Amino acid sequence: MAVDFSSRQNGTTTISQINVTPLVDVMLVLLVIFMVTAPIIQQGVQVNLPQTKAGAIQGKEEQLVVAMTRNGGIYLNDNPMKLEELGQKLRAIRQLQQSREVYLRADQDVRYGVVMKVVAEVKQAGIERLGMVTQPVVTQPTRREEG
């Protein structure tokens, strides 16, 4: 898009145009920065999830995820905390939003009793909707044997 703001002073003509080259350069640099940093931001807490044949859950808003690592660490949306702190945080969140869902990402090697303590803490905070996050089962394609 070029705009002609011609002015004739002393017989010379000047044309003013918008130069978009610097704008394109800045946008390309920003694109590269976001492409490099996006995978780093999405890492989260490393948890070895159990595998199941359940389908994916569609989320509507920012999700509350409680993650449990193999060594007993508890995280609420990548923020480390103790079990007692988890209950307090979830109660405060529930007071702001009555119908929140919590998703539990527990490492498959975490003891069942420890997982149940976290589930009980979530329920005592008044959150009724608790989902368990798993990995989909990876099936190997079968080969036909030629005979």
Q: What is the pLDDT of residues 34-89, one digit of tens each?
A: 888 776 665 556 666 666 665 555 555 567 888 888 888 888 888 888 888 888 88
* pLDDT at position 129 over 60: yes
Q: Are 144 and 112 in contact (CB under 8 A)?
A: no
* pLDDT at position 145 over 60: no
* Cα 122 from Cα 144, distance rounded (Å): 49
* Cα 77 from Cα 100, distance rounded (Å): 14
* Cα 145 from Cα 108, distance rounded (Å): 35
Computed over every residue of the chain, the mean pLDDT equals 77
pLDDT of residue 146: 47
Q: What is the pLDDT of residues 75-93, one digit of tens each?
A: 888 888 888 888 888 888 8
Which tokens in the block code for residue 61? 């808003």
Among 68-77, 128-137, 138-147, the range of highest mean pLDDT? 68-77
Least confident of 1-10, 61-70, 123-132: 1-10
Which residues, 6 or more positions from 4, have their beta carbon under 8 angstroms from its beta carbon?
15, 16
Domains in the chain (CATH in brackets) are 7-41 (no CATH), 51-136 (3.30.420.270)
- The structure's pTM equals 0.53
